[in-house]
């Protein structure tokens, strides 16, 4: 999740043709990809879809450092091969569906700034939902900066060492407790500053 800030950075700073496409167009494209993932049930079809997404990924000049994010969901997909009686077709089907979904999503996020996505969603979804999404997104960045400071404190208190599981667990839990308290304080401050800026229950996005 630390990659989130980097992902946001390349979405804003990227200069490829894909970055310049409108968010609406890319979200519609993502819906089509999802439809294909749900509907296509043969390996060649999914394989070609994955190849197509990979081509788009490299054409969009997304740094290779982000690529492992597309492979991350395979960790969980691995559990579901036990469901199939180790049928190769089913395993490949699951893995390709996972890869198509995650590559499509990373492609969308790495080329579209979050506020643009929220702006499109705000046209079709309830404002409270989109506002909660936006505040969560903002809060993740606030917490990431708190987490950076907390990591230093954690290190000074012994950090996380597998040889001392109890101490490590206590340190991690205290760090999360600290994160929660800091987060709640920050959320109160955020609400007060929003009120001062004229917040009346709705956030307005620039339509661009």
Which residues, at least 6 apart from 161, have a Cβ–Cβ distance to it below 8 Å?
167, 168
Q: By C-alpha distance, which of 16, 53, 51 is closest to 33?
A: 53
Residue 198 CA to residue 7 CA, distance in Å, equals: 30
Burial of 13 (0-12, 13-18, 19+ CB in 10 A): exposed
Residue 106 in contact with another protein, rule: CB under 8 A? yes
Site for another protein in 69-88 (CB under 8 A): 69-70, 72-73, 75-80, 82-85, 87
What minimum distance in Å lies between the beta carbon of 123 and another protein? 16
Alpha carbons 80 and 64: distance in angstroms, whole number: 28
In whole angstroms, the minimum distance from the beta carbon of 178 to another protein comes to 8
Residues 15-54 interacting with another protein (rule: CB under 8 A): 34, 37-42, 45
**Of 14-22, 52-60, 91-99, 151-159, which part binds another protein (CB under 8 A)?**
91-99
Between 60 and 77, name the residue whose CB sits nearer to another protein: 77
Q: Which of 87, 81, 86, 58 is nearest to 70 (CA)?
A: 58
Closest contact distance (angstroms) between CB of 190 and another protein is 5
Q: How far is CA 136 from CA 54, 58, 73, 114, in A?
A: 30, 30, 22, 11
Q: Which of residues 116-135 bind another protein (CB under 8 A)?
A: 126, 128-129, 131-135
**Residue 135 in tokens:** 């505040």
Residues binding another protein: number (CB under 8 A): 74
With residue 155 as reference, give the H or E element that holds it.
Answer: helix 127-156
Using an 8 Å Cβ cutoff, are 205 and 118 in contact? Answer: yes
204 is an interface residue for another protein by CB under 8 A: no
- Cα(53)–Cα(46) distance, integer angstroms: 10
**Per-residue binder mask for another protein (CB under 8 A), 140-169, x = binder:** x-xxx--x---------------------x
Instruction: Determine, following the binding rule CB under 8 A, whether residue 136 of this chain makes contact with another protein.
Output: yes
Specify the stretch interacting with another protein by CB under 8 A; choose among 15-23, 50-58, 151-159, 181-189: 181-189
Nearer to another protein, 61 or 178 (CB): 178
Among 94, 159, 167, 205, binds another protein (CB under 8 A): 94
């Amino acid at each position: 999740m630390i990659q989130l800030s980097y992902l946001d950075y390349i979405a804003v700073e990227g200069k490829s043709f894909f970055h310049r496409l409108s968010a609406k167009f890319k979200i519609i494209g993502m819906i089509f990809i999802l439809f294909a993932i749900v509907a296509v049930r043969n390996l060649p079809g999914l394989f070609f879809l994955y190849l197509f997404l990979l081509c788009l990924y490299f054409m969009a000049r997304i740094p290779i450092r982000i690529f492992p994010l597309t492979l991350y969901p395979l960790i969980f997909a691995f559990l579901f091969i036990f469901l199939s009686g180790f049928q190769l077709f089913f395993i490949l089907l699951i893995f390709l569906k996972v890869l198509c979904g995650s590559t499509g999503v990373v492609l969308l996020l790495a080329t579209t700034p979050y506020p643009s996505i929220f702006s499109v969603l705000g046209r079709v979804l309830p404002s409270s939902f989109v506002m909660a999404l936006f505040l969560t997104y903002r809060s993740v960045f606030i917490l990431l900066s708190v987490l950076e400071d907390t990591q230093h404190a954690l290190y000074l208190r012994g950090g996380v060492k597998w040889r001392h599981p109890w101490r490590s667990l206590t340190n991690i839990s205290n760090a999360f407790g600290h994160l929660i308290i800091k987060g709640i304080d920050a959320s109160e401050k955020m609400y007060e500053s929003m009120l001062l800026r004229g917040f009346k229950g709705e956030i307005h996005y620039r339509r661009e």
